[in-house]
Amino acid sequence: MPKVTMEKIVSLCKRRGFIFPGSEIYGGLANTWDYGPYGVELKNNLKKIWWKTFIQDREDMVGLDASILMNPKVWEASGHIASFSDPLMDCKKCKERIRGDKLIEERISIEAAVGKTLKQISEIIQKEKLPCPKCGATDFTEARSFNLMFKTHQGVIEEESALVYMRPETAQGIFVNFKNVLNTARKKLPFGIGQIGKAFRNEITPGNFTFRTREFEQMEIEYFFDPAATKWENIFDEWKKQSWNFVNDTLGISKDNLRFRDHEKDELSHYSKGTTDIEYLFPFGWGELCAAAAYRTDFDLTQHQKFSGEDLNYSNPEDLKEKIVPHVIEPSFGTDRIALAVLLDAYNEEEINGEIRVVMKFVPALAPVKVAVLPLVKNKEIITGKAREVFNLLKKKYTTEYDEGGSIGKRYRRQDEIGTPYCVTIDFDTVEKDDSVTIRDRDTTNQERVKVDKLVEYFSSKL
Ligand code: GAP
């Protein structure tokens, strides 16, 4: 069967209501995407599973929901004002603005671009005569640093003092609330704080659908520990495992399409002493899916302590005299990017009775709709009435859809394309003979008859 392509996924997402181009009726706004009826269910399910796995099911984790807009000093302290930038160049002929490192990545290799200084980037592009992606010319300005944070103004006066930034990572909301959480959640080290929320980056080269956008959602954890009590490598390795298990086992992304990649020393973020990503084999090649673990040391808390003047030490409850600034391991997941990998990985084309069907094989927990209830015909009240009864029974427990439009074959195809694990059909036998329905399994297309009063029990072992 042919492999999934980005074009196929973009088209299915639009056709079936997963993801639409942003502001479409106004001609769109480049690289913005809106989640449609099934996309929002998929993304909400992803966030729900993440929250349950990493926050609710663990005694050493608590949650948080911090503001997007923060005091600008946060970004001074965190180093984002000084260091959160990309190497930018302009084509002297057509004025196209490009990211120097991306041009090297695309034209030579990812390895050739990793960790290069501005000067080295300019030199490589000049020496290799790399062409402008728009006009093909080979004459660029020198690479210079471009800060990725979006700026806006708070209040009605657009002056320097009202300048605020849209957060480029959710992590800083966690660090600045460290003391509040410590005082209220009464956790002992090691413990973690997690949150889900939007982040904004004025990316120079957004693209590949929702892979790199300027507005996106993150699911981040800051896991605090005492490096004298536990070696950082142990906690780092444990989080690598947990992150891998989450994307592979829990979300069902095939392990053949996943790999770890350690960051090179000179590629590390300004706060990190070691980072391992999980990469996914996207149709355009291997790309970062999430940061499985990053060792941020005590960098952030120490900086915030310095800039805010607040004491952000942790006291051991058994010995209050002993104070430390905890160190941190950070697993960081991009919600939209993982949703994209889930969509790509679930996509299958199969031949059935000489026809090709497209089927999205989501794990049931991620599927936007769990069960579809389909009356065999729509113009017989006896059938539709019974179907409504079954729908009302199931919708209390599962996201259920009632669908009576079109032939049964067409309705199966539609449910396959949105990845509904089970279709329940109500036919004449249901109402005239056995009070049973036909359940069709999405993946095998096998069908079985189940009594209506056994339906909830049947699905409780499967969904
Ligand atoms: N707090 C650490 C941090 O933000 P990162 O590697 O820059 O680390 C973490 O981002 C994750 O967020 C990435 O692995 C990716 O899943 C997602 N992400 C980052 N930038 C993104 C963008 N422009 N569009 C979509 N997702 C993005």
Q: 377 pLDDT exceeds 90?
A: yes
**SS3 at position 457:** helix
Q: How far is the CA of 75 from the centre of ligand 1 (A)?
A: 17
pLDDT of residue 1: 61
pLDDT of residue 319: 74
- Report the greatest alpha carbon distance in the chain: 80
Nearest CA to ligand 1 atom 13: 290
Q: How far is the CA of 334 from the centre of ligand 1 (A)?
A: 5
- Cis ω for the linkage preceding 190 (within 30 of 0): yes
What letter would DSSP give residue 56?
I
| Best probe residue, ligand 1, of 32, 99, 170, 218 (max atoms within 8 Å of C-beta) | 218
Q: Return the structure tokens found at 310.
A: 């607040």
Q: 360 pLDDT exceeds 80?
A: yes
Nearest CA to ligand 1 atom 21: 212
- In ligand 1, which atom is closest to the CA atom of 211? 25
Going by pLDDT thresholds of 50, 70 and 90, the confidence category of residue 112 is confident
Q: How far is the CA of 400 from the centre of ligand 1 (A)?
A: 33
pLDDT of residue 64: 98
Nearest CA to ligand 1 atom 12: 334
| Best probe residue, ligand 1, of 99, 149, 209, 216 (max atoms within 8 Å of C-beta) | 216
One DSSP character per residue, 434-449 reads ISEEEEEETTT--EEE
Going by pLDDT thresholds of 50, 70 and 90, the confidence category of residue 212 is very high
Reported pTM: 0.92
Do residues 71 and 367 make contact, with C-beta atoms less than 8 angstroms apart?
A: no
Q: How far is the CA of 395 from the centre of ligand 1 (A)?
A: 36
Pick the more confident residue, 117 or 360. Answer: 360
| Three-state secondary structure readout of 343-400 | HHHHEEEEEECCEEEEEECCCCCCCCCCEEEEECCCCCHHHHHHHHHHHHHHHCCCCE
Average of per-residue pLDDT across 339-366: 96
**SS3 at position 455:** helix
Among 86-95, 214-223, 444-453, the minimum mean pLDDT is found in: 86-95
Sheet strands side by side (includes 144-147): 97-99, 85-90, 144-147
Going by pLDDT thresholds of 50, 70 and 90, the confidence category of residue 115 is confident
CA 239 vs CA 59, 173, 207, 262, 330: distances in Å:
16, 21, 29, 14, 8
Q: Return the structure tokens found at 95.
A: 């004025």
Q: Where are the beta strands (DSSP E) in 101-190?
A: 144-147, 151-153, 163-165
Average of per-residue pLDDT across 52-76: 97
pLDDT of residue 158: 72
- Chain-centroid distance of CA 12 in Å reads 19
Nearest CA to ligand 1 atom 9: 332
Residue 439: count other Cβ atoms within 10 Å of its Cβ. Answer: 19
Among 88-97, 173-182, 242-251, the minimum mean pLDDT is found in: 88-97
pLDDT of residue 110: 74
Q: How far is the CA of 203 from the centre of ligand 1 (A)?
A: 11
Cα 345 from Cα 137, distance rounded (Å):
38
220-279: per-residue pLDDT in tens?
999 999 999 999 999 999 999 999 999 999 999 999 999 999 998 877 888 888 999 999
Q: Return the structure tokens found at 60.
A: 């050493």
Nearest CA to ligand 1 atom 17: 334
Residues 6+ apart with CB under 8 A from 393: 452, 455, 456
Pocket of ligand 1 (CB under 6 A): 169, 171, 201, 203, 212-213, 216, 218, 220, 288, 290-291, 330, 332, 334, 336-337
